Amino acid sequence: MRIVPDKPFLYKGGKRGVLLLHGFTGNTKDVRALGNYLNKHGYTCYAPLYAGHGTSPEELLTSRSAEWWQDVVDGYNYLKKLQIEEIAVVGLSLGALYALKLGSMLPVNGIVSMCAPIKKKSLETLSDHITRYAVNYKKMEKKSDQQIQNELTSIHKSSDTILLDVQHVIEDVNNRLPAIECPALIIQARQDHRANLESPDILYNKISSTKKSIKWYEQSSHIITRGPEKNQLHTDIHDFLEGT
């Protein structure tokens, strides 16, 4: 079965823009509904697709964090070229880390961090993300369980470099947190088994923003944008952006 690759998306609105950033092994579908909602309220929304994402796990493993970060910066500059006057950045998981990094380096109107994995993860834990992604992808390709297992063995042998890359991103962002001074909304799902639940307090205490808050979603898991509280999430993010 041929799987159609995911794509970046742009929803044109007014002069206030939102850069929407998906997570590691994720794609722009994870932030599309949020982008749609914000666009209906007048925001121009753009979501880049990181190199290697939205495709096969084998292609994902050929990409590097430097490429993903460049996709983020290019997305910010793309909104600038559209004459967007104010840019906020909203990120999920790895995208939340990149939102924080962007806010520490470039002028942004506000940051929304969703389920940021701010505490360093073991390679084994990170490897689980790739395994989950690979299995789901290959099931969509209609491959047999045996064929999937054979291909997983090869994938695991090739995954250490990209996993070390993700660890480096976490360390790098931790070092940059004190440089963040813009308004920040820190969002965390209570049922999240991928990001440490201490992360919101760590973020809150390390960033230098004077306007910052933590919001918990009791029924949601890591991909909070697709969870049972997504409608409330949309409203809360919109309210935050309106107040920046």
pLDDT tens digits, 20-79: 999 999 999 999 999 999 999 999 999 999 999 999 999 999 999 999 999 999 999 999
The domain spanning residue 41 has which CATH number? 3.40.50.1820
At 211, phi and psi to the nearest 5? -105, 100
Q: Which domain holds residue 72?
A: 9-242
Q: Which residues are catalytic?
A: 93, 192, 222
Establish if 60 belongs to a structural domain.
Answer: yes
Confidence category of residue 1, pLDDT binned at 50, 70, 90: low
At 119, phi and psi to the nearest 5? -90, 135
Confidence category of residue 2, pLDDT binned at 50, 70, 90: low
Say yes or no to pLDDT of 123 above 80.
Answer: yes
Lowest mean pLDDT among 2-6, 9-13, 71-75, 115-119: 2-6
- Segment 118-141 mean pLDDT: 90
Establish if 129 belongs to a structural domain.
Answer: yes
Residue 26: exposed, middle, or buried by beta-carbon count in 10 A (0-12, 13-18, 19+)?
Answer: buried
- Give every CB contact of residue 216 below 8 A, 6+ residues apart in sequence: 188, 189, 190, 200
Contact yes or no for 117/94 (Cβ under 8 A)? yes
Contact yes or no for 125/54 (Cβ under 8 A)? no
Q: Is 41 helix (H, G, I), strand (E, B) or coil?
A: coil
Contact yes or no for 40/11 (Cβ under 8 A)? no
At 219, phi and psi to the nearest 5? -100, 0
What pLDDT was estimated at residue 93? 97
List the one residue out of 40, 88, 91 whose CA is nearest residue 211. 88
The secondary structure element, H or E, covering residue 233 is helix 230-242
- Segment 206-212 mean pLDDT: 98
Q: Report the alpha-carbon distance of residue 101 to residue 173 in Å, rounded.
A: 6
Establish if 177 belongs to a structural domain.
Answer: yes
Say how many domains are in the chain.
Answer: 1
- Cβ neighbour number for residue 97 with a 10 Å cutoff: 28
Q: Report the alpha-carbon distance of residue 121 to residue 133 in Å, rounded.
A: 17
- Tell me the pLDDT tens digit for each residue of 76-109: 999 999 999 999 999 999 999 999 999 999 999 9
